[in-house]
Amino acid sequence: MFDKESLKKLEQEKARWESTTVEKAIKKFPERYEKFYTGSNLEVDRLYTPLDIQNIDYMKDLGFPGEYPFTRGIQPTMYRGRLWTMRQYAGFGTAEESNKRYKFLLSQGQTGLSVAFDLPTQIGYDSDHPLAQGEVGKVGVAIDSLQDMEILFDGIPLDKVSTSMTINAPAAILLAMYIAVAEKQGVSPDKLSGTIQNDILKEYVARGTYIFPPEPSMRLITDIFEFCSKHVPKWNTISISGYHIREAGATAVQEVAFTLANGIAYVEAAIKAGLDVDEFAPRLSFFFNAHNDLFEEVAKFRAARRLWARIMKERFKAKDPRSMMLRFHTQTAGSTLTAQQPDNNIIRVTIQALAAVLGGTQSLHTNSKDEALALPTEESVRIALRTQQIIAYESGVTETIDPLAGSYYVEYLTKQIEEKAMEYIQKIDELGGAPKAIEKGYIQQEIQDSAYKYQQEIESGRRIVVGVNMFQVEEEPPKNLLKVDPEVEKIQRQKLNNLKATRDNIAVKNALDELSKKAASNENLMPAIINCVKAYATLGEICDTLRRVFGEYKATVTF
């Protein structure tokens, strides 16, 4: 972008500046550290100039918004056309309580729903399973059958809202329930829009809510890809998630690398299952973390977009530009929230949310200030939502596209992250792809090493966390935390008993037997799963049927 002559001149001038002006200043006031680093430990220079981005080719590396390689954004007009979807992850207790919270959020100007399920639901156990004890309704809403799902979306028109569901191992079942609820509302599947997380590989690596071994899990995923491409064309069939990988301790580079490596594995699995890349790839979506280091995070989002576009075009020979677009949801980094001085978290979330918006996110969840302590109260969720609204309507950052492009620092970082992530992806390719690298424990070990290093930096004081290892105060224990009613478990058990006493149990048995047969064959499982949920088979019954055919995943433990 710069001619050779002026770069040469600049190089000389920079050397002069360093040896005179800077030298003099440093003698008087030394810099705070000998070396500086980003939040993810990339070294940061004192100053960036055109010298640091001389290898960037504008048309090849940046291009225009809505065009390959999408570095500057996936839409031609970005937020000038439409703002991102404000989508707060919520759910707790019973379907009735969560339904109330969703209606509250929609009334406050939220534009999409995001369903949190409790852990028994995520791991495929009914609320009356022994392992569900103490967990029912705790970190999300308890869903045992279609009946709960009908209550959850009662009075919410499914053709008008888009719904994201954080569900992985049993994603096919919850999607089937959603389709069945919509049908009862008179909404056909082709009108539905939303997302299922459906990303099992990162469950093995970082999040832990796996059920089945990798092979049948990947089959369930590709069955969903195929089914949705025909019947639910507006549905995002997967949300390939770096969020939890980052939360587990990965760096920004590792987040991009391991997420895209998982993405590559899903694309390969679908192609192997006989699907055409442009048939399913436009519905792949991503989910990233927004951490504290503003510029590094913006660079990360831009790098991820460019890298994915290149992978899809060059490696998988996609032809449809939509197959190359990395569309993503962002959540601010839960692991950066502190239990100490919780009000400080509002400021952390603001910076993180700003990074997501400057990085071109399609939807955003902002964490609430009290989430290092408990589930958020209605009041703290409102502040979190208002944070997004202030960025959207008052800060002005939305009025032009990709406003940090051209910053010598941000462009340099974007390139750095892309290159370093690509090195990891090559290493993972050498190990035989993401599933193999996970099986060998390679990805887990890399993340654990980063997590340990991060904690040691806090211990040594080189990494400062305000209110934790600096600027501490004596505090009163926080009050007014949200408490989930322990009665939920009893209520859910009661509902299950009633359901089992009133449904057509022969129809249930037939539907489950049919599913069992299909699971042992190569046929797409979605129609059989939809039959099961419509017969009011419970989530646990459906998962147990599949467990008997598929077996269960056993993790290898390292630390």
Partner 1 sequence: MQGARPIRVLIAKPGLDGHDRGAKVIARALRDAGMEVIYTGLRQTPEQIVEAAIQEDVDVIGLSILSGAHNVLFPRIMELLREKGVDDILVIGGGVIPHEDISFLKQCGIAEIFTPGTPLSQIIDFIKNNVRI
Interacting residue ranges for partner 1, rule: CB under 8 A: 119-120, 122-123, 130-135, 138-139, 203, 206-209, 247-249, 335, 338-340, 372-375, 448, 451-452, 455, 459, 465, 468-469, 477-478, 481, 483-484, 555, 557, 559
* Number of residues written out for the chain: 559
Closest approach of partner 1 to the CB of residue 93, in Å: 11
Residue 528 CA: distances (Å) to CA of 182, 227, 543: 18, 12, 13
Cβ closer to partner 1: 72 or 291? 291
CA–CA separation, 398 vs 171, rounded Å? Answer: 34
Nearest distance in Å: CB 140, partner 1 = 10
Q: Of the two residues 274 and 477, which places its CB atom closer to partner 1 in the complex?
A: 477
User: If you ran DSSP here, which 8-state letter would residue 35 be given?
Assistant: S
Cα distance between residue 459 and residue 310, in whole Å:
40
Lateral strand order in the sheet of 89-90: 89-90, 113-116, 163-166, 194-196, 235-236
Concatenating the DSSP letter of every residue in 388-439 gives HHHHHHTS-TTSSSSTTTT-HHHHHHHHHHHHHHHHHHHHHHHTTSHHHHHH
Q: Which is nearer to partner 1, 115 or 179 (CB)?
A: 115
Q: Residue 249 CB, nearest distance to partner 1 (Å)? A: 5
Whether the CB-CB separation of 542 and 532 falls below 8 Å is answered with yes
Q: What's the CA gap between 108 and 40, in Å, rounded? A: 35
Task: Closer to partner 1 by CB, 128 or 402: give it.
Answer: 128
Query: Residue 332 Cβ, how far from partner 1 at the closest point, in Å?
Result: 16
Shortest spacing between CB 477 and partner 1, in angstroms: 4
Q: Which is closer to partner 1, CB of 88 or CB of 209? A: 209
Please, what is the minimum distance in Å from the beta carbon of residue 210 to partner 1? 8
Is residue 265 within 8 A of residue 433, CB to CB? The reply is: yes
Closer to partner 1 by CB, 208 or 233: give it. 208
Minimum distance of partner 1 from residue 485's CB (angstroms) = 12
CA dihedral 351, 357, 362, 365 (to 10 degrees): 20
Cα angle 211-246-297, degrees, rounded to a multiple of 5: 145
Fill in the amino acid letter for 36: F
Instruction: Quote the least distance from Cβ 134 to partner 1, whole Å.
Output: 3
Verify cis geometry, omega within 30 degrees of 0, for the bond prior to 170. no
Whose Cβ is closer to partner 1: residue 58's or residue 553's?
553
Q: Given the complex with partner 1, which of 166 and 388 has the nearer CB atom?
A: 166
